[in-house]
Amino acid sequence: TKNALSVSNVGAAKLIPESDLTPDSLFQEVNEIMSSESIQKEMSEKSKKIGVPDAADRLIKILTDLVNK
């Protein structure tokens, strides 16, 4: 939940609380995103700002360095 909340807080995702989650509420949220290029673009841009594109490579380097010590 903390990861989802952190992404949602910056506008890169929509978070539906479990107590509000129904097939209809999920459909409405997905439909809103899928039917709006501007929402998709905005969410994409915001997710790129918080993402670490080379995270896997960084992690491998850290682990390799630890193993080689």
* pLDDT digit string, tens, across residues 29-53: 999 999 999 999 999 999 999 989 8
Q: Which of 1, 23, 22, 5 is nearest to 14 (CA)?
A: 5
pLDDT value at residue 39: 98
Q: How many whole angstroms separate alpha carbon 69 and alpha carbon 63?
A: 10
Q: DSSP code of 19?
A: G
This prediction has a pTM of 0.71
31 and 24 Cβ atoms separated by less than 8 Å: no
Res. 19: pLDDT tops 80: yes
Write the CB contacts of 10 (distance below 8 Å, at least 6 apart in sequence). 46, 49, 50
15 and 5 Cβ atoms separated by less than 8 Å: yes
Res. 1: pLDDT tops 80: no
